[in-house]
Amino acid sequence: MLNLIVIVDREWRGEIANRLEQVGRYSASRTIMCVVEQGRDHITAWARMTAPDTRPPPGQIAPVREQIEIDVGPQHLPVLDTVVDPVVVPELLTVLWSPHGHDDAVDALLRRIVDVILVDSVVDPDPEEALHRVEELSEQAYIVDLAWLRSTPWRERVAATFDPRGMREALRHISGVTVRYRPDSEASAFLYVGWLASRLGWRVGKLAGSGNGLHGHARARRQEVELHLQHHPEQDVPGLAGVTVETASGLSISLDRAAGGLTEHRRETDGSEHTWKVLGASRGEGGILGQGVRQALLRDPTYKPALDAARAMLP
């Protein structure tokens, strides 16, 4: 139950519409797509309402979804709030997604309409600029970052590994973290390491270039932690390709992307090794947007501390 405002360039309208269709049961009750067309000097719009073609069972309500498309020109973006405001359902959460930038329109809508902003930190080729912009936006609305959501399976699996009582002491002895990622997804790698640092109380500093990635250290309570961020050019989707966490006692846990989920490889302190498949752990790129819409109704207290730590590590 929310308003979803989408700002999209005309040439990418079809691709974005397809992504919204893949959201499935997480579709917003009202979607307002603002299509920006160069050279357009007037505004046009259409609306459509859809409902199930079968009657709901007695006592249940049939969900109705509404789609509104507004065609605008670039000159309308600084005052887009006055265009969108009349078609937003009042008293519902309002989410904004602007995958192609248009900061002037984003700033206009932030003034009085938007509650949540859906962003993707990996879209900007400069992770420093991307994370700085997210920091600015977070002062005005709640942020849902798709770059952060892509790392959810990796965070869940590592957290689950150390969750048993007998494993929790090993958290104090983590000595190395390696994150492998597609070269254009550096922001996701920073956020993942930022999550570990913020949850475990590490003090982090700036990372430096090292071969095919970045290298640095974090200071834990008992020892330093080696940090490696490595490019993985073979990966064909945005986000992480693999994660390895090592402890001073010789325990090593590696997760790598594979068909159908993640492959987990574990080396015990006695040198024995085990490998297995974590089925369904990865949601795939098609499900990320749906998770983003769903997350707009929730609140994740771990993102902001991870963002602060990630920004502290930027070269």
Where exactly are the structural domains of the chain?
A: 2-114, 152-284+300-313
Nearest residue to 199 (alpha-carbon basis) of 150, 138, 156, 247: 156
Residue 110 CB contacts under 8 Å (≥ 6 apart), including other chains? 96, 117, 137, 140, 141
Question: Could you tell me the CA-to-CA distances from 114 to 78, 118, 155, 198 in Å, in that order?
Answer: 15, 11, 29, 28
Helix (H, G, I), strand (E, B) or coil at 155: helix
Question: Could you tell me the CA-to-CA distances from 138 to 91, 132, 142, 274 in Å, in that order?
Answer: 21, 10, 6, 42
Tokens representing 267 are: 């080396």
pTM of the entire structure? 0.89
Residue 154 CB contacts under 8 Å (≥ 6 apart), including other chains? 192, 240, 243, 255, 262
Place of tokens 């790129």: 285
Q: Classify domain 152-284+300-313 at the CATH topology level.
A: Dihydrodipicolinate Reductase; domain 2 (3.30.360)
Would strands 93-97 and 116-119 be described as parallel, antiparallel, or unpaired? parallel
Alpha helices in the chain (DSSP H): 13-21, 80-84, 103-110, 127-138, 146-149, 152-161, 165-168, 186-200, 284-295, 303-313
Q: What average pLDDT score do residues 139-166 get?
A: 92
Helix (H, G, I), strand (E, B) or coil at 276: strand
Banded model confidence at residue 137, pLDDT cuts 50, 70, 90: very high
pLDDT of residue 260: 73
Place of tokens 């879209």: 123
Q: With contact defined as beta carbons under 8 Å apart, do 245 and 154 qualify?
A: no
* Distance, CA of 254 to CA of 33 (rounded, Å): 41
Share of the chain above pLDDT 70, in %: 98
Nearest residue to 217 (alpha-carbon basis) of 197, 195, 239, 243: 197
Q: What average pLDDT score do residues 53-72 get?
A: 87
Would you give the end-to-end CA distance of the chain in angstroms?
41
CATH, range 2-114:
3.40.50
Rounded to the nearest 5 degrees, what angle is found at the Cα of 311, between the Cα atoms of 305 and 315? 150
A 10 A CB-CB count for 135 gives 15
Q: With contact defined as beta carbons under 8 Å apart, do 2 and 95 qualify?
A: yes
Q: What average pLDDT score do residues 209-216 get?
A: 89
Q: What average pLDDT score do residues 121-136 get?
A: 92
Nearest residue to 231 (alpha-carbon basis) of 252, 210, 247, 250: 210
Which amino acid is residue 187, in one-letter code?
Answer: A
pLDDT of residue 284: 60
Tokens representing 280 are: 């369904």
| pLDDT over threshold 80, residue 59 | yes
Please report which helix (H) or strand (E) contains residue 299, including its range: none
Average model confidence (pLDDT) across the chain: 91
pLDDT of residue 280: 62
Query: Per mean pLDDT, which range of 120-129, 238-247, 253-262, 298-307 is the poorest?
Result: 253-262
